[in-house]
Amino acid sequence: MSTVTSSLSSMSFATISSFSTGVKYEDPSGLATRHVSIEDLIAQKAAKKTDSRFTLDELISIMPEISRPAVFEAIEKIASKEEKHTIQFKPLFGGHSNAKLFRFQASGKKYVLRLLETDKAIEKRSSEIAAHQHAESLQIAPKLIYVDRPCSFMIMEYVEGRTFSRHGADLNNNELATKVMQTFRKFHLSSQRPNISRETRPSSLHNQYMGNVKKGVAYPAVFDLIHKQFQEDAAKLRTQLTVTHSDLNPGNIIIGKDGNIYIIDWAEARLDNPFFDLGRFFSLAGASNEQIKNLLGAYLGREPQESEIEETLLCKDFLALNKTSRWLDLQGTKRSPQELNALLTGQLKSISDYVKEGKRPEEMSSDDQTLYALSWLKEYINNRYHISVEAFLKMTLHNQFQNNKLPDMHSGLTPNEILQPELVKMNAIKI
What's the CATH number where 219 sits? 3.90.1200.10
Same domain, yes or no, for 122 and 171?
no
What is the rounded (10 degree) CA torsion for 302, 305, 311, 314? 100
What's residue 416's pLDDT? Answer: 46
Q: Among 136-140, 164-168, 239-243, 376-380, where is mean pLDDT lowest? A: 164-168
Distance between CA 14 and CA 11 in Å, rounded? 8
Q: Total structural domains in the chain?
A: 2
CB 245 within 8 A of CB 263: yes
Please check whether residue 390 lies inside any domain of the structure.
Answer: no
Q: How far apart are CA 241 and CA 286, in angstroms?
A: 25
Residue 269 pLDDT > 80, yes or no?
yes
Residues 167 and 187 in one domain: yes
Within this chain, do residues 146 and 222 fall inside the same structural domain, yes or no?
no
138 Cβ neighbours under 8 A, 6+ residues apart: 186, 187, 190
Q: Is residue 422 included in any domain, yes or no? A: no
The range of the structural domain enclosing residue 323 comes to: 163-385
Contacts for 185 with CB less than 8 Å, ≥ 6 apart: 299, 300
Positive/negative CA dihedral, 128, 129, 130, 132: positive
With 0-12 CB in 10 A as exposed, 13-18 as middle and 19+ as buried, what is 154? buried
The predicted structure's pLDDT at residue 111 = 97
Cβ atoms of 246 and 276 closer than 8 Å: yes
Q: Name the residue with higher pLDDT: 407 or 153.
A: 153
Q: What is the CATH number of the domain that holds 112?
A: 3.30.200.20
For the chain, give the mean pLDDT: 83
Do 236 and 377 lie in one domain? The reply is: yes
In the sheet where 100-106 sits, what is the strand order? 90-92, 100-106, 109-115, 153-157, 144-147
> For residue 294, what pLDDT band results from cuts at 50, 70 and 90?
very high
Q: How confident is the model at residue 54 (pLDDT cuts 50, 70, 90)?
A: confident
Residue 424 counted as domain residue = no
Residue 204 in this model has a pLDDT that exceeds 90: yes
Range of 24-33, 206-215, 381-390 with top mean pLDDT: 206-215
Global pTM value = 0.83
